[in-house]
């Protein structure tokens, strides 16, 4: 049997977890969202014989794909290879991943009666393949594993729209037009998210990231009313696990303070907001992650160097900074660029002294609750 506390203790002194906790360390940690995937030839070789769902549903394949960027890039953390809609897909919501499109829902949620199709998640029964992947990984990884899930709003947007959207008109129509049904949907999705993340941590994940990818479609007033209570519930019900909780969304520069108030230990800043500006919007005692623009990595390394150094400069050597892209790795990215980027961050990233804990709640900078986690 896997001892999750022992797994996390192995990684407690590494730079990623220490940065998430605002503790002293020597090297700026770096990992990349979507670091596993189409930028890697070894991933494409697997996908030549297997669909995306087949990879996710086969623990040995999903583990191998998760391990590939760790071997190639030398990153300080790994993130589970899966998808934010995997839990609701497992619940029989008619979700498929359409190549070149993304998640598509056969029968979208549009009425109060549609919510009856959305039952609670039982991870051991519904997504055992995800948990088996985590178990394989924590035995093989030399760096911490980040578990993840989609935040209630982002998953709701797929279920209501029926697929990806630019305007989120159906989602907002439900929010504004039938608030009780909206909150009932969000409550159900929050429960699914909590169950998914807790099960990943129980198998040995050392941190979790909550992807509210499309929350940037909302203004702060609507985010606070319709989304924040449910994201806060997710964060609150993970607090006893003692692992860092990262909160990330795209185009959320105006929401960073609210996202932190949900209970995040680290808030991701996307590339549209200068990192020092984003840092100023995040309270002390909460770390920050980001935020090189992914498209920069499509150009020559000389330009990547310049922009990466600017990110490091804007981070100010803070002990609670995790270097990342401002969103996911783009498929055309040359892996050698990312290899060199990791080397640059490790070589030139300077870490200063720790920041203070937030006095109002008395917790440490990353809310650690487990002695095994340092």
Residue 226 designated active-site:
no
Catalytic residue among 18, 21, 76, 158: 158
- pLDDT at residue 354, as a whole number: 59
Catalytic residue among 8, 18, 21, 34: 34
Strand, helix or coil for residue 352 = coil
The pTM of the full predicted model, rounded to 2 decimals, is: 0.92
Residue closest to 146 by CA, chosen among 220, 41, 69: 69
Catalytic residue among 47, 184, 232, 272: 47
- pLDDT at residue 353, as a whole number: 66
| Residue owning tokens 């990349």 | 32
Residue 158 designated active-site:
yes
Catalytic residue among 10, 38, 110, 309: 38
Cα–Cα distance, 286 to 296 (Å, whole number) = 27
Cα–Cα distance, 6 to 331 (Å, whole number) = 35
Walk along the chain (374 residues) and give the pLDDT tens digit of each residue: 778 888 889 999 999 999 999 999 999 999 999 999 999 999 999 999 999 999 999 999 999 999 999 999 999 999 999 999 999 999 999 998 888 888 999 999 989 999 999 999 999 999 999 999 999 999 999 999 999 999 999 999 999 999 888 899 999 999 999 999 999 999 999 999 999 999 999 999 999 999 999 999 999 999 999 999 999 999 999 999 999 999 999 999 999 999 999 999 999 999 999 999 999 999 999 999 999 999 999 999 999 999 999 999 999 999 999 999 999 999 999 999 999 999 999 999 999 865 544 433 333 333 333 323 22
Catalytic residue among 10, 83, 114, 276: 83
User: What are residue 323's DSSP bridge partners?
Assistant: 30
Residue 309 designated active-site:
no
Residue 38 designated active-site:
yes
Residue closest to 118 by CA, chosen among 175, 181, 173: 181
Residue closest to 315 by CA, chosen among 340, 337, 290, 339: 290
- pLDDT at residue 372, as a whole number: 30
Q: What domains are defined for the chain?
A: 4-373 (3.20.20.210)
Residue 34 designated active-site:
yes
């Amino acid at each position: 049997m896997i001892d999750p506390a022992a797994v996390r203790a192995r990684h407690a002194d590494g730079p990623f977890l220490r940065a998430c906790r605002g503790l002293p360390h020597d090297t700026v940690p770096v990992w990349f969202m979507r670091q596993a995937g189409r930028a890697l030839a070894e991933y494409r070789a697997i996908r030549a014989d297997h669909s995306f769902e087949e990879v996710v549903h086969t623990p040995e394949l999903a583990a191998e794909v998760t391990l590939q960027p760790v071997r190639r890039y030398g990153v300080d953390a790994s993130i589970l290879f899966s998808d934010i809609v995997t839990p609701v897909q497992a619940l029989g919501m008619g979700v498929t991943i359409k190549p070149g499109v993304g998640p598509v829902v056969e029968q979208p949620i549009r009425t109060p009666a549609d919510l009856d199709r959305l039952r609670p998640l039982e991870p051991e029964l519904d997504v055992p393949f995800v948990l088996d992947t985590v178990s394989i990984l924590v035995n093989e990884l030399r760096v911490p594993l980040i578990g993840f899930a989609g935040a209630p709003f982002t998953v709701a947007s797929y279920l209501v729209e029926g697929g990806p959207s630019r305007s989120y008109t159906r989602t907002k129509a439900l929010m504004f037009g039938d608030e009780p049904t909206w909150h009932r949907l969000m409550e159900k999705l929050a429960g699914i998210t909590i169950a998914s993340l807790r099960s990943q941590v129980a198998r040995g994940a050392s941190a979790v990231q909550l992807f509210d990818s499309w929350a940037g479609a909302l203004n702060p007033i609507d985010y606070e009313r319709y989304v924040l209570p449910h994201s806060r519930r997710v964060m609150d019900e993970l607090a006893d696990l003692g692992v860092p909780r990262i909160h990330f969304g795209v185009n959320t520069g105006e929401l960073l303070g609210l996202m932190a108030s949900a209970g995040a230990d680290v808030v991701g800043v996307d590339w549209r907001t200068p990192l020092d500006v984003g840092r100023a919007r995040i309270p002390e005692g909460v770390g920050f992650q980001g935020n090189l623009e992914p498209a920069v990595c499509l150009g020559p390394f000389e330009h990547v160097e310049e922009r990466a150094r600017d990110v490091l400069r804007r981070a100010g050597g803070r002990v609670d900074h995790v270097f990342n892209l401002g969103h996911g790795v783009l498929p055309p990215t040359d892996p050698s660029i990312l290899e060199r980027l990791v080397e640059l961050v490790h070589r030139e990233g300077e870490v200063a002294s720790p920041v203070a804990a937030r006095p109002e709640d008395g917790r440490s900078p990353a809310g650690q609750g487990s002695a095994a986690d340092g």
